């Protein structure tokens, strides 16, 4: 299934994109694409619906983040060996973990705000993993049973705030609008192998990132097992799993960063595309 949330910010209603590309309203069936809806039994109930009987939604309406009521937005740094190399950093022995503030979450096609005074706002296409069944101390062997689905994330980053201002990475990662999520939450049963997906990102039509989830250092089961040692994972938690090479910071000889008035376009095989206009905060 391709699950979505449609409507104005804060007023999104749950929806499903059917096999004919028609948006169907789920608001009479579930309150949101969140919480219990993401549990295995909740998703199974949606699969059992007669989709053709659901009301149709206008296709031109705004697409919101594909997950509502996110509890944690957890990110993994330097999880592609070739991206670590372009960043001039060693391959990590354990996953590098940081967070994006929930106020960074926006829809896949919403504007991205360049922070005031920013000179180094950057892009990162990433595979998002959405937790369905929660748990702690999850084994790698069972980890994929805890995944509700997958989505596209743009881990927008301000490199100066992240790397040059002291402290953790978080303040360069969590600025408002720095977390576009969606358009779809593609349920895990429709993603045969999350480690065999092509991914790409363009700015103003120029292809900067062209990668594949094949090159992850720590695979999805490893990440879920690792994170669940330090925190309970709960339905609706989002894990952003790292980016391939081609970020602006890594361009030689002169890095390239975003400025207001540019357009990013990005996507992952089978998970849809995003498009954002950059604007001044």
DSSP readout, 244-265? -S--GGG-SSS-----TT-EEE
Q: CA nearest 204: which of 124, 262, 279, 276?
A: 262
Cβ contact 225:140 at 8 Å:
yes
* Residues 37 and 16 sit within 8 Å (Cβ to Cβ): no
Q: Which domains does the chain have, with CATH numbers?
A: 68-280 (3.90.850.10)
3-class state of residue 129 by DSSP:
strand
- pLDDT at residue 125 in the model: 98
DSSP lists the bridge partners of residue 200 as 210, 267
E strands present in 60-203:
73-77, 96-99, 105-106, 112-114, 121-122, 125-131, 147-154, 157-158, 179-180, 185-187, 198-203
Buried b or exposed e, range 41-77, using 16+ CB within 10 angstroms: ebbeebeeeebeebeebeeeeebbbbbbebbbbbbbb
**Residue 22, SS3 per DSSP:** coil
Rounded Cα distance between 126 and 124, Å, is 6
Residue 66 near residue 105 (C-beta atoms within 8 A): no
pLDDT 10s per residue in the chain (281 long)? 999 999 999 999 999 999 999 999 999 999 999 999 999 999 999 999 999 999 999 878 899 999 999 999 999 998 998 777 777 778 889 999 999 999 999 999 999 999 999 999 999 999 999 999 999 999 999 999 999 999 999 999 999 998 888 877 888 899 999 999 999 999 999 999 999 999 999 999 999 999 999 999 999 999 999 999 999 999 999 999 999 999 999 998 999 999 999 999 999 999 999 999 999 99
**Considering the entire predicted model, what is its pTM?**
0.96
Alpha-carbon Rg for the chain, nearest whole angstrom, is 18
User: How confident is the model at residue 108, as a pLDDT?
Assistant: 98
For residue 164, what pLDDT is reported? Answer: 83
Pairing of strands 2-6, 13-17: antiparallel
- pLDDT at position 81: 80
3-class SS at 103? helix
pLDDT score for 91: 85
């Amino acid at each position: 299934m391709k699950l979505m949330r449609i409507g104005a910010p804060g007023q999104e209603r749950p929806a499903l994109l059917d096999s004919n590309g028609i948006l169907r309203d789920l608001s009479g069936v579930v309150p949101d694409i969140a919480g219990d809806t993401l549990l295995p039994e909740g998703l199974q109930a949606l699969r059992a619906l007669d989709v053709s009987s659901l009301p149709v939604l206008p296709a031109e309406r705004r697409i919101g983040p594909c997950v509502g009521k996110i509890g944690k937005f957890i990110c993994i740094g330097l999880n592609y060996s070739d991206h670590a190399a372009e960043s001039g950093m060693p391959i990590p022995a354990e996953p590098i973990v940081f967070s994006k503030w929930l106020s960074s979450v926006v829809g896949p096609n919403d504007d991205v705000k360049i922070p005031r005074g920013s000179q180094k706002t950057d892009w990162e296409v990433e595979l998002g993993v959405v937790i369905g069944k929660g748990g702690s101390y999850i084994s790698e062997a069972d980890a994929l049973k805890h995944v509700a689905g997958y989505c596209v994330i743009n881990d927008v980053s301000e490199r100066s705030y992240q790397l040059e201002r002291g402290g953790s990475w978080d303040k360069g990662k969590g600025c408002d609008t720095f977390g576009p999520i969606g358009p779809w939450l593609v349920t895990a049963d429709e993603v045969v192998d999350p480690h065999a997906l092509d991914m790409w990102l363009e700015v103003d039509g120029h292809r900067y990132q062209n990668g594949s989830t094949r090159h992850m250092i720590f695979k999805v089961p490893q990440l879920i097992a690792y994170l669940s040692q330090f925190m309970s994972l709960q339905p609706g938690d989002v894990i952003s799993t790292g980016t391939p090479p081609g970020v602006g910071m890594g361009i030689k000889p002169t890095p390239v960063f975003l400025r207001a008035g540019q357009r990013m376009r990005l996507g992952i095989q089978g998970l849809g595309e995003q498009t954002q206009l950059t604007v001044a905060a």
